[in-house]
Structure 1
């Protein structure tokens, strides 16, 4: 299977929510040597996002991911303990380039992982941009990758459904602290070799 060389330049839409979850419930086998999950009063902050990468991207596909802030090498980074995609090229590229534990899934009605509906929306002024690093461990390899994300965001009400017996069952019944959506997301992931 072929996949694009890094960096991947992506565009599309996303819905993202942040949850507070007891630290012991959040998977951590993805953390590289020396990294630790950032917690507050025994809780981790878990972002769950559904992303649709559209034409104009290095690859077009849908993705559901979980991300947590971590303390790594003296700074804050993001680590991805769980992620699903509906593209074999994305799965293989994510694993081989950046040690991101992508797994294949089908999305839509009847998903055994999660579904989300976002309603309403209060536009935030301007374009928001963030840059940083991911810190990952997969199959004994530690990999850090650069990323830059931007878009015009709006606050939304996001209703997530996580089947209790599914891989995100630790989020079942939890209410997001905050949720955002954008239709004009831009993401650059990885670095040129």
Structure 2
């Protein structure tokens, strides 16, 4: 399976919810030498849908679960579960960065009123509905690092993103221990629609 070299330039929309969970319920496994960030015994978890479209190197959909981690005092994010509907995305994510992508089938509709469902070969994984709470948006640049396990070792990748954020209301349905399993019995702490996103994932190996 061929896939684009890093960095990947992606365009699209993201629908994300933030949760707090007890430290003992934080997603695993984590890479070596990183620990979950906790506050009063609770870890910070993000579940998100992405619809990559436009002029990026790939067009696909994904749903993921990630946890905020630290290596020393440096904050990073680890993706513990993720499903995509692209063979190239699956192969490249695993080989380049150690992101544990698996395949699933997606049903996605809407924009401001967004609905999505993902199923793998074993049945229902998760579903969500998002509703933007306002038409006004705020330009929010993001820069962070993703920490994964690649070839048995810690692998850290930079992510840079520009887009417009709007608050949203979200409801989730979770099935089992897939890419959203865990916090489904509570409401998320906050939810957001991040649109017109321009993302650069990874680093250019040819740059000094």
User: TM-score w.r.t. structure 1 length?
Assistant: 0.92
Matched residue of 1:21: which SS? strand
1:190 aligned residue: 202
1:86 and 1:106 in contact (8 A); partners too: yes
Residue 156 (str. 1) matches residue 155 (str. 2)? no
1:124 and 1:152 in contact (8 A); partners too: no
1:15 aligned residue: 15
More strand by share: 2
Please state how far the C-alpha of 1:26 moved relative to its aligned partner: 2.3
Structure 1 residues without counterparts, runs of 5 or longer: none
Report the number of matched residues: 191
2:141 and 2:163 in contact (8 A); partners too: yes
What is the distance in 1 between the residues matched to 2:138 and 2:18?
Answer: 21
* Runs of 4+ in structure 1 over 4 Å off: none
- Which structure 2 residues correspond to residues 90-101 of structure 1 after superposition, within 5 A? 90-101=89-100
Please state how far the C-alpha of 1:150 moved relative to its aligned partner: 1.8
Please state how far the C-alpha of 1:138 moved relative to its aligned partner: 4.3
Matched residue of 1:176: which SS? coil
What is the distance in 2 between the residues matched to 1:110 and 1:103?
Answer: 12
What is the distance in 1 between the residues matched to 2:152 and 2:66?
Answer: 20
Per-residue CA distance 1:159-185 (angstroms, 9 max, x = gap): 11112x342332222211000003311
What is the distance in 2 between the residues matched to 1:110 and 1:126?
Answer: 29
1:124 and 1:155 in contact (8 A); partners too: no
- Which structure 2 residues correspond to residues 160-179 of structure 1 after superposition, within 5 A? 160-163=172-175, 165-167=176-178, 168-179=180-191
1:18 and 1:48 in contact (8 A); partners too: yes
Please state how far the C-alpha of 1:110 moved relative to its aligned partner: 6.9
